[in-house]
Chains A and B, each alone.
Chain A
Amino acid sequence: MIAPPPAHSGGWLRLSPLNRRRLDNFRRNRRGYWSLWIFLALFAVSLGAELVANDRPLIASYKGELLFPAFVDYPEEKFGGFEAETDYRDPAVADEIAAHGWMIWPPIRFANSTTKLDPPTPFPSPPTWTLSEAQCRAALAAHAGGDAEKIPPGGGACRDLEPMWLGSDANGHDVVARLIYGFRVSVLFAFILAGVSSLVGVFAGAVQGYFGGWLDLILQRVIEIWSSLPQLYILIILSAILTPSFVVLLTILLLFSWVNLVHLVRAEFLRARNFEYVNAARALGLSDAKIIVKHVLPNAMVATLTFLPFIVNASIGTLTTLDFLGLGMPPGSPSLGELLLEGKSNLSAPWLGLSAFAVVAVMLSLLIFIGEAVRDAFDPRKTFA
């Protein structure tokens, strides 16, 4: 009797040496590694956007009752008003709650589409830290409605203004809040688009590459015709017919983006289906589905994973472009492209264009750095050397 060594426990977390070496390679690329962490941190913050930038307090205590306005809608009735929804930024409500309890606000007291009611200057108003003492004083005076008692005497008028770190746009929305929400939408949109189009693309490529023959021939021609359609014009036409929304845009873009990976995966499958270990698996009596999943797909996944960050980048670019052209998400939805468009329309307000540009540039650069690191980590010349 020959006793086998005890089986490893640890389940799927046990990495094969090949993957371990890839992980090491990825870590060794400092730029990509740090980019990943920075990107993940930014993404995590933007996922919790409601906790960071919101026009409702996170927690409030009113007459001994603990309230969570950020998560629960309380009618204004509760605080002695009559509206269906409470505007916590309304001084009347704020004063009422302050009198009978307290509120904990998120660091930024604006949501994506909160309109600033008492702007220091006409919209778009610049970041508050750029305002001069005289401007602040004038703003406070305007809010007080001529009531000079409300203006604190002496300097530091600007400290009493509600801070808007990057100013507001032409509709009185806070730019920081818009950037955070816009970042989230862009990244989520791109992840979903890249994920779904990779799934479809890998499947189509796998079927073509593995089975070959007529199926491959016909599907290839279909893809050639399909991808030679003028995408942008079709997008413009479609968005004129359909009301653009997150899901509609995703679907339209998906129609064209799935072809990106097909050629790559198909080529990988054509190569891998004649590998000797694939033949060996066939000789062992494995079914086609099992061979594809276990032996051929992992080969194609290297190419797919390598491309994924770049596809995500392209998706972000496409969404931003469409929004910039006014063909994207409906007005009022958080969007970096729309902010860029506003920057273009208000050249006298450089904080709009500059901050949107900076966010897009940093986001795309981080993803590119991560993509490069992933590509190098999967490079067989480096893994097998």
Chain B
Amino acid sequence: MRAAPPLLEVRDLSVAFAQGGVKRLAVDRVSFRLERGQALALVGESGSGKTVTAQSIVRLLPYPAASHPSGEIFYKGRDVLKMSDAELREMRGAGVTMVFQEPMTSLNPLHAIERQVGEIIALHGGRRAATRARVVELLTEVGIVDPASRLGAYPHQLSGGQRQRVMIAMALANRPDLFIADEPTTALDVTVQAQILALLKALQAKLGMALLFITHDLGVVRKIASDVAVMKEGRIVEAGKVAEVFANPRHEYTRMLLAAEPKGEAPALDKAAREIVKAENLRVWFPIRHGFLRRTVGHVKAVDGVSLVVREGQTLGVVGESGSGKTTLGLAILRLIRSQGTIVYCGRGIDGFSAKQMRPLRREMQIVFQDPYGSLSPRLSVAEIVEEGLIAQKTRINAAERREAVARALADTGLDPATMDRYPHEFSGGQRQRVAIARAMALDPKFVVLDEPTSALDMSVQAQIVDLLRELQKRRALAYLFISHDLKVVRALASEVVVMRRGEVVESGPAREIFAAPKSAYTKALFAAAFAIEADASGVVSQ
């Protein structure tokens, strides 16, 4: 008897993109196979070709700009690359389904979720009358609380996690044999990520489908996959069982990835160090206005009565889910948005300062933003970006001195000063973040707000940036306010931690104590999600 063909077999698949007459190979002779009930994770850093590989399985690439110089993809023994459009449609909605990274843009904002989920059922031959019941059943299956009342909800009324659950419900509507998840949790909070992963795992076990999971996060791989393939520059450099690969990485790159988690420990909290910034009962309330006369009927309390102290040479970590008010807190302390409550900087109360009075202080209080692509103007060269603050703050400095200062700042952040006349688009994400840090450091600040400076970066680059920040802090006795949802990074940097939720401080104290023994239920759930990727069942975290 001949053995049945595997559910999915990819043989020597290459993908090339033509751009301006030049062909660039994005995926280079990749092979793998996937059986029913198996979960394979494709791991790699951004640009490694994992998403392109997944999209070519359902032929979603922008043909004819994309082409396959070599390779075959067999789905149940049939070559996907040779399928007709009708066969492809049949395979896409029913046999192979896909969930994307961004739940914000994957759902149509104009339709209620009942219609969107129902559409899939109808398209692949469901009975009209039974559709509503089936939609409710599916939504229940993916863990939407009280699904019958949520049928009429529009995507914007759902949280990110709920949207991703709806996407999963749509993908599962026709009981696919193969489920492709392309970084489905990257845009979500750690707590929600843990829930979604637990859901996917449970559903996979229940429905017996094959799962192709694409991620850059090795922790996630360990949690969800049985097999792993590590991709680098379009090639699979190592593949095997998760346990084996993680225990004995054979390829250098896998070893590098495994070692990439931020290491090192922050110095212990030193209560004697000078207080640089002290905020007391800080509040940022955004009024909610209603009616014709726009009367204020209530407030969104983005930051509600937060008190904190940042000390010289030390880092205060602010952690919490998205929407907890972390970033708003950082902006309020720098007086970039309006707030109530006292803010003391080096012994001076600055909460009443006008924009003009603040200007000289800007030199000493700096900020580094999350997105190194958005925070650097594409029109200015690196030198112009870094010297901007110098021009604004030190008026009596000539062009030659300015270039020297820029060169020093770039060298301090590990960049080659010879590249200072290049433009941001010529740099990688990590290098751009170094430029952003250099811009802040060029002014010799005393206090720096770091607003998720590592979140937009690849894992291995994150570790480098953390090392850089720690070194700069040691050398210059900087006070950091480090805002992040990534607890691993916070643990590596912060001596003191503030846990925020819905604008309020849930728990605060020395980092070592909190990480060793979190007291509140919320902190415990957050830590479980971040470090062990365990979902919390108690309901303290949002869905």
User: A residues touching B (Cβ–Cβ < 8 Å)?
Assistant: 2-5, 7-8, 16-18, 275-277, 279-287, 290, 294-295, 298, 384-385
Contacts and interface: CB of A to CB of B under 8 A. Distances in A.
A294 B439 CA distance: 16
Nearest to A6: B403
B377 A286 contact: no
A4 B439 contact: no
A13 B240 CA distance: 57
A2 B362 contact: no
Contacts of A298: 379
6 contacts: A2-B408, A4-B406, A5-B407, A16-B380, A276-B369, A280-B367
B408 A290 contact: no
B532 interface: no
B98 to A, nearest CB: 25
A39 B503 CA distance: 61
Interface stretch (B117-125, B155-163, B414-422): B414-422
B393 A280 contact: no
B362 A285 contact: yes
A4 B388 contact: no
Contact of B439 (A2, A284, A290, A295): A284
Interface in B393-428: 393, 399-400, 403-404, 406-408, 411, 417-418, 420-421, 423, 425
B421 A5 contact: yes
A65 to B, nearest CB: 57
Given A276-B375, A279-B336, A284 B443 contact: yes
Given A4-B420, A277-B374, A16 B381 contact: yes
Contact of B374 (A275, A282, A284): A275
Contacts, number: 87
A276 B362 CA distance: 16
A4 B407 contact: yes
Contacts of B436: 280
Given A2-B411, A18-B378, A277-B375, A282 B439 contact: no
Interface size class of B (residues with CB under 8 A): 35 or more
B360 interface: yes
B417 A5 contact: yes
B252 to A, nearest CB: 32
Given A277-B374, A284-B392, A16 B379 contact: yes
B295 to A, nearest CB: 16
A304 to B, nearest CB: 15
B374 A18 contact: no
Given A276-B369, A283-B366, A284-B392, A16 B423 contact: yes
B481 to A, nearest CB: 13
A293 to B, nearest CB: 12
For the complex of A and B, list the 5 residue pairs with the smallest distance between their C-beta atoms, beginning with the closest.
A285-B362, A4-B407, A284-B389, A276-B375, A276-B374
Interface string B465-500: 000000000000000000000000000000000000
B376 interface: yes
A279 B407 contact: no
Given A18-B423, A280-B367, A2 B393 contact: no
A275 B408 CA distance: 27
A275 B374 CA distance: 7
A3 B407 contact: yes
B371 interface: yes
A169 B365 CA distance: 74
A4 B367 contact: no
A253 B377 CA distance: 37
B371 A276 contact: yes
B532 to A, nearest CB: 33
B421 A280 contact: no
Contacts of A7: 399-400, 403
A163 to B, nearest CB: 52
Given A4-B420, A276-B371, 4 more contacts: A16-B381, A285-B358, A285-B392, A385-B19
Contacts of A287: 359, 392
A5 B393 contact: no
Nearest to A298: B379
Contacts of B165: none
B404 A284 contact: no
Nearest to B361: A285
Contacts of B374: 275-277
A283 B407 contact: no
Nearest to A17: B423
Given A281-B388, A285-B392, A2 B336 contact: no
Contacts of A4: 383, 403-404, 406-407, 417, 420
A94 B50 CA distance: 86
Contact of B417 (A2, A280, A285): A2
A233 to B, nearest CB: 34
A285 B389 CA distance: 7
B232 interface: no
A71 B403 CA distance: 53
Interface string B76-109: 0000000000000000000000000000000000
B367 A2 contact: no
Nearest to A283: B367
A8 B388 contact: no
Nearest to A299: B379
Contacts of A281: 388
Contacts of B366: 283-284
